[in-house]
Amino acid sequence: MTLQDSFILAWRTVRSNKLRTGITVTIIAFGIMALIGIITAISAMNQSLKENFSFMGANAFSIRYKEMNARFGGGPGNNEEFSKSKKGLKEKKSNLDKVIRLEESLYFKEHYGFNRAQVSVYRRGNGNNELHYKNKKTNPQVSMWGADENYLVVSGYTLSEGRNLNAVDIQSGRNVCVIGSNVAAKLFPSKPEKSVDKIILVGGKPYRVIGLLKSKGSSAMLRQDDVVITSIKNLRQYQSNASYQLGVMVNNVTELEPAIDEATEQMRKARRLIPTETDNFVIDKSDKFAEMFIGFLAGISGAAGAIGMITLIGAAIGLMNIMLVAVNERTREVGLIKAIGGKKKDVRRQFLFESILISILGAVFGIVLGVLVGNIFSMVLHTGFVIPWMWVIIGIVICTIVGLAAGIYPAMKAASLNPINALRYE
C-alpha cells in the first residue's frame, strides 16, 4: 500500500464518521480558537498602543514625580534607565514625600535652555468629569488638564477650530478651555466645529470653549480625545495639592539624549538636590509607556498560551480515546487489510493519518474562528485587520504534534493485531 493510498483511505474514514470527527474537531478548534483569539486581540491592542502612544513624538520626553510610577507588568524599577539613579547616592528625606511644585516647574522652564527646546508645564485634574451643554452631556470619563501655551505642541495636539490658550488666559486663570474631539461630538453632535465660543459646564462651572482639537484616536486604555484643557491657574483654584509635570520637545531626535542630560541637571537644581542625593523625579520617553503596557499584555499572552495548551491536552486525550474506539470498531477491517497483504506500517500509517487529519481540521476551524473573534478588538480599537501569522503557523504545528501524539498508541495497537483473530472479531 502506497503512502497516497494510506492517506486516501484515512480521508475517506474521516469523512464517513461525521459525528465522531465533528465532536473531536470541535474540541480541538475551541482550544486553538482560545489561543489564536486572545493572541489576535492582544496584537490589535499592541498596534493600538503603539499608535496612540505617539502623543509625544520621538523627539520629546516628560518629567514627573518619582512616586507617580505606573506599573503594568514591568515591576519596580521599570524606569531606572531614565531616572539616572546612581549607586551610592541616598534619597533626600526632605523631598521624598514632596510632589513637583509649580515653583520648581516654572524654575525649570525658565532656566532650561537646550537649543530652543520647547517646555510645557502642566498637571492633571480629575479624570471622571461629566461635561454639559444645554440638554447634552458627555460620559463621566473626560480628563481635565491645567496647562500652559506650549502644552498642545509638546503633547502632539493640533487645533481644528479656534485658538490656543494665550498669556491673558494663563495669567488671569479665567474660565476658558480647549476641548477634545470626542467631547465636541457628544455636546454638539450635529456640528462639533460650532462648539467654539459656546459656554459649557465642567464640574458645574461655566467655561467658554476657545478651541477644538483634532482627533488623535483613542484606545481602551488611553482616551486622548476625551479631554478638556484649561490654564494651570484656573485648575489650581478648584484642585490643589497635585504634582506638576513637564514636557520637553527638542528640534531633532538626535538631540534627545543630551537634552535629557541637561534636563536632569536643571531639575536637580530646581529640586535643590546636592551631589550625594539621588534623583527624586523620573524622565520618561513617550515610547516607555507603550513598552510598559505591552509588557503587561505579554503576561496576558502567556496566560492565553497556557489556556490554549491545557485545552489542547484535553483534546489530545479525547482524540486518543476516540481513535482507540475506532480501532475496536474496525478490528475486522484491520484483519482484512493484513489478510490481503497489508503490512504493519500500512495500518499504523493509516491510523496516524486519520488522527493528524482530524487534528489539522480542528486547527483550521479554530484559527479562522480565533482570528475573527480576536479582530472584534480591532474594530473596537479602530486598527487594521490583524492576523498573527507566527501563531497561526505555531497553531498548525502544535495540532499536528497533538494529532501525531494522540494517534501513536492506537495506531500501534491496530498494527499489532493478529489478522486471524481480527477477522474472527465480532
Residue 293 — pLDDT band, cuts 50, 70, 90? low
Give the pLDDT confidence of 201-213 residue by residue, as tens digits.
998 899 999 999 9
The neighbour count for residue 276, using CB atoms within 10 Å, is: 10
Q: What was the pLDDT predicted at 292? A: 63
Give the pLDDT confidence of 156-185 residue by residue, as tens digits.
888 999 999 999 999 999 999 999 999 999
CA distance 142 to 165: 19
- Which residues does 398 contact at the CB level (< 8 Å), separation at least 6? 32, 312, 363
Helix, strand or coil, per DSSP, at residue 129: strand
Pick the residue with more confidence: 107 or 69?
107
Q: Does the pTM exceed 0.75?
A: no
Q: What was the pLDDT predicted at 420? A: 61
Q: What was the pLDDT predicted at 262? A: 93
Helix axes 344-381, 3-16, angle to 10 degrees: 60
Q: What was the pLDDT predicted at 424? A: 56
* Residue 84 contacts residue 284 (beta carbons within 8 Å): no
Give the pLDDT confidence of 228-283 residue by residue, as tens digits.
999 999 998 876 667 899 999 888 777 888 999 999 999 999 998 888 888 888 88
Cβ-based burial of 199 (10 A; exposed 0-12, middle 13-18, buried ≥19): exposed
CA distance 172 to 277: 38
Pick the residue with more confidence: 310 or 145?
145
Asked whether the predicted pLDDT for residue 123 surpasses 60, the reply is yes
Pick the residue with more confidence: 37 or 304?
37
End-to-end CA distance of the chain: 26
Q: What was the pLDDT predicted at 91? A: 54
Half-sphere exposure (CA, 13 Å, Cβ side) for 132?
A: 7
